[in-house]
Structure formats: C-alpha cells, structure tokens
Amino acid sequence: MRSHGATTKRAQRLASIGRLLDAAQELFVSQGYRQTNLDQIASAAGLTKGAVYFYFRSKETVLLELLERVQAIVVDQARKVVAGTGPGAVDRLVAFLNQQSKLGVTHRDAVLLLILMSLEFSERKGPVRNMLRRVYRQLYALVERMVQDGQRSGEIRADVRARELSAIVMAIHDGTFLEWYRRSPALSGPEIVRALRGVMLTGISRAPARGLRGGVRRIQARAA
C-alpha cells in the first residue's frame, strides 16, 4: 500500500525502524518521554501506532533502543577518541571535549536525549534508569580517569578530589548543552562551545603557583 524507495522487505524494515527511531528521538527531546504519545511518533514516521508495536515491544523499548544507539555514538566514540590521543591528560581531556562539541552539532538530539532522559527518569526505577546509569557510569569513569592522571602528572589542580572535579566537568558539559537547548536561538553555537572549553580548561588547570606562571596560558592555547 505504502511505497518506499527500496522495496525489499529487509530494506523497508530498516527504513521504517529508522524513521520511527528518528521521530521518537526528536519528539522525546522536544516534548519529553511522557508527553510524547505513540500516535505522534508513528505519524511523524508516516506510519500508524500499530506499526510501532510491530517493531517494538513497547514505548519503553523504543526509548531503550534509542539509548542503545546513543550509547554507541556518545560513549564508544568518546573512548576511541580518548584512546587515540596523548600523551598528556589535558590533551586527552581536550580531545574529549572537542569530540563532545562535534557531537553537539552532528548529533545534537542524541546528546540531549541522554541528558534529558537522565533527568526525567532519575527517580523512576526500571530498565531505562538502569541503562542510563550504565551510560553515565562509563562517561564518569572515562573523565575521572583523565582527571586523576592529570592530577598525578601535575597538569590538573589537586586541591579538589578527582570525583568532584570530574563531576564538575560533566556538570559543565551537560549544563552547557541544556543551556543551549533552552535558549537555542539566543546563543551562538560555535562561540559557546569555544567559550566552554576555554573556561573549563582554565578552571581545572593547576593553579599557577609562584614560579609556574604560564601554565594556564599554555593550556588555554591548546584549547583554542
């Protein structure tokens, strides 16, 4: 009845699933999970509610598969980038932040989905919260390791514990995305990203103790 470009069953299946997931992602991000109903998702994908149930077991499953995709995009990529950079901890952190900034442009909704769902599901136990915790734990661990390395090597300030310092890094990171999301047209994307990086790196750098001045400047140069 409905005719799509490629007509093999397999292609149609993938196309429909893709359209449904894309539609769901956009709606979950812009309206929240709970406010989005399946009719909206389905019709945004050019299908009907029934089709959603043909491909997914439930509304929750749609979100879980979406988060699976997001995990691959956000966590796996970040790990790869971090692993491929070195040797300094700050270098890796810069690479990480650059990667996230790029994601913010190429996969804005994927990143926002992660952040927004982590808030919407923060107090509701169930598979979604578990999945989200898993993803965040991985990100936290990645950042915390870099911060610890940096503290050991003297690149990063040691007057705050690694746990709290990396929490700040994540907080700044998520906070900036949310701010951007909230005030979208009022803020310049590239500029805010650049500012973010500069502020964060300066902020976490080792305080320029006497005789070591220039440390901050050096870091800021790398981040530019």
Partner DNA sequence: AATGAATGAGCATTCATTCAT
Partner DNA sequence: GATGAATGAATGCTCATTCAT
- Contacting positions for DNA (CB under 7 A): 1-4, 7, 9-10, 12-13, 16, 35-39, 42, 47-55, 57-60
Q: Are 139 and 130 in contact (CB under 8 A)?
A: no
What is the rounded CA–CA span in Å between residue 144 and residue 165? 8
CA distance 123 to 33: 14
In whole angstroms, the minimum distance from the beta carbon of 193 to its own copies comes to: 9
Name the DSSP letter for residue 186: G
CB-nearer residue toward DNA: 58 or 184: 58
Q: CB under 5 to 8 A by kind: which of DNA, its own copies, none does 178 bind?
A: its own copies
Contacted by 154, from its own copies, DNA, none: CB < 5 to 8 Å by type: none
185 interacts with, out of DNA, its own copies, none, CB within 5 to 8 A per kind: none
CB of 16 to DNA, least distance (A): 4
Distance set, CA 201 to CA 117, 164, 173, 195, 207 (Å): 27, 15, 12, 10, 11
From the CA atom positions of the chain, what is the Rg in Å? 20
In the complex, minimum distance from the CB of residue 179 to its own copies, in angstroms, rounded to a whole number = 4
Q: Which residues bind its own copies (CB under 8 A)?
A: 30-32, 34-35, 116, 118-120, 122-124, 136, 157, 159-161, 163-165, 167-168, 170-176, 178-183, 186-188, 191-192, 194-196, 198-205, 207-209, 213-214, 216-217, 220
The nearer residue to DNA, 51 or 67, going by C-beta atoms, is 51
Work out how close the CB of 133 gets to DNA at its nearest, in angstroms, rounded to a whole number. Answer: 21
Nearest of 138, 156, 74 to residue 109 by alpha carbon? 74
Binder of residue 165, out of DNA, its own copies, none (CB less than 5 to 8 A by kind):
its own copies
If one counts every other C-beta atom within 10 angstroms of the C-beta of residue 222, the result is: 14
| 174 three-class SS | helix
158 binds, among DNA, its own copies, none (CB under 5 to 8 A by kind): none
- Whether the CB-CB separation of 85 and 75 falls below 8 Å is answered with no
Residues in the chain, total: 224
